[in-house]
């Protein structure tokens, strides 16, 4: 019996000390508690913090609203109309170590709309639309003393180029040229070459696309009606003073400047006026024997000596 009890006692002897078992139990309990606390922290929302931009290499955080600090130093920056309106400085590049909160959506939309209005105002001030002016070149800017239609001997009227330069600054000018033959076309192109050629200090006085050639007067009428100018200057060509063109355009063009000879102009005096010419004496038609003696020239700063 004693032998049996002794053998049983040896079998129930613990392999590890009791203090080591207790240590393992406490460690497991501590690890479980730490994991539980970490899990609770991850599920709970973080408290919102306000970040204030500090001098270089320093970042300060506040658990409440940051205090208002007034800037005493002046800083030169580039800002838009929206930045000035909302008293905001231009955005800086964010620090790589902090995350700045995004601005409210309504404030962002207002700033974009203000910038859009600012850009539209700037664009309209730079690209102010000019009124369109068409000029029939013959007998207005150019003249041909030759009595033969087939002989081209064109030249510029006195002060025609300075006047054309002033008109190009005030209007969107188109030159319409009725040519009789190829020689006529070539000579006028040579005369207009300085007008269409840019210089080292300035662009060309007139773009080549605004010089249009035609073969007859009816084609010129179609061009004028297509362009739809606010003002048209008509002088006819070698064998006609442009009377029929003026009659056709008086109802569709706001203002017509009709350049005719002095002899033809005297026929519109009250004592010499014919019944067939009475319909041409309207407010929209200006009669003159020189383009320099017109309201267009006076608007451009040219005056004729009495």
- Cβ contacts of residue 95 below 8 Å, gap of 6+? 53, 59
What is the residue extent of each domain of the chain?
A: 81-91+103-128, 131-299
47, pLDDT greater than 60: no
40-44, 51-55, 83-87: the lowest-pLDDT one: 83-87
295, pLDDT greater than 50: yes
256, pLDDT greater than 70: yes
Are 51 and 63 a contacting pair, CB within 8 Å? no
139, pLDDT greater than 90: yes
pTM of the model as a whole: 0.58
The rounded mean pLDDT for the chain is 76
pLDDT digits (tens, 9 = 90+) for 177-195: 999 889 999 999 999 999 9
Coil vs helix vs strand at 174: strand
pLDDT of residue 14: 57
pLDDT of residue 174: 97
Mean pLDDT value of segment 58-73: 48
Interhelix angle 182-196/160-170, rounded to 10 degrees, is 70
Are 184 and 153 a contacting pair, CB within 8 Å? no
Higher model confidence: residue 284 or residue 15? Answer: 284
41, pLDDT greater than 80: no
pLDDT digits (tens, 9 = 90+) for 86-111: 444 444 444 444 445 555 555 566 66
pLDDT of residue 279: 84
Higher model confidence: residue 221 or residue 55? Answer: 221
CATH of domain 131-299: 3.40.50.1000
Q: Residue 186 has which token pair?
A: 């070539």
């Amino acid at each position: 019996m004693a032998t049996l009890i002794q053998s049983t006692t040896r079998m129930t002897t613990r392999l590890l000390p009791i203090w080591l078992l207790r240590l393992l139990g406490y460690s497991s309990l501590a690890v479980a508690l730490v994991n539980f606390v970490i899990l609770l922290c991850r599920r709970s929302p973080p408290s919102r913090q306000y970040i204030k931009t500090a001098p270089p290499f320093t970042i300060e955080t506040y658990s409440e609203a940051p205090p208002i600090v007034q800037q005493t130093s002046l800083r030169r920056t580039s800002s838009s109309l929206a930045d000035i309106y909302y008293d905001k400085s231009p955005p800086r590049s964010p620090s790589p170590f902090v995350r700045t909160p995004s601005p409210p959506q309504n404030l962002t939309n207002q700033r974009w709309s203000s910038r859009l209005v600012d850009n539209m105002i700037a664009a309209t001030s730079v690209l102010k639309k000019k009124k369109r002016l068409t000029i029939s070149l013959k007998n207005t800017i150019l003249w041909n003393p030759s009595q033969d239609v087939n002989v081209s001997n064109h030249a510029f009227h006195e002060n025609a180029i300075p006047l054309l330069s002033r008109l190009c600054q005030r209007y969107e000018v188109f030159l319409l040229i009725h040519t009789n033959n190829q020689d006529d076309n070539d000579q006028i192109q040579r005369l207009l070459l300085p007008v269409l050629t840019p210089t080292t200090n300035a662009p060309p006085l007139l773009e080549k696309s605004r010089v249009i050639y035609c073969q007859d007067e009816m084609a010129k009428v179609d061009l004028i009606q297509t362009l739809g100018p606010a003002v048209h200057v008509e002088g006819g060509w070698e064998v006609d003073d442009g009377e029929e063109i003026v009659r056709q355009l008086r109802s569709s063009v706001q203002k017509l400047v009709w350049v005719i000879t002095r002899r033809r102009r005297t026929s519109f005096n009250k004592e010499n006026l014919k019944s067939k010419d009475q319909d041409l004496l309207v407010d929209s038609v200006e009669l003159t024997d020189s383009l320099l003696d017109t309201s267009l020239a006076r608007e451009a700063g040219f005056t004729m000596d009495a």
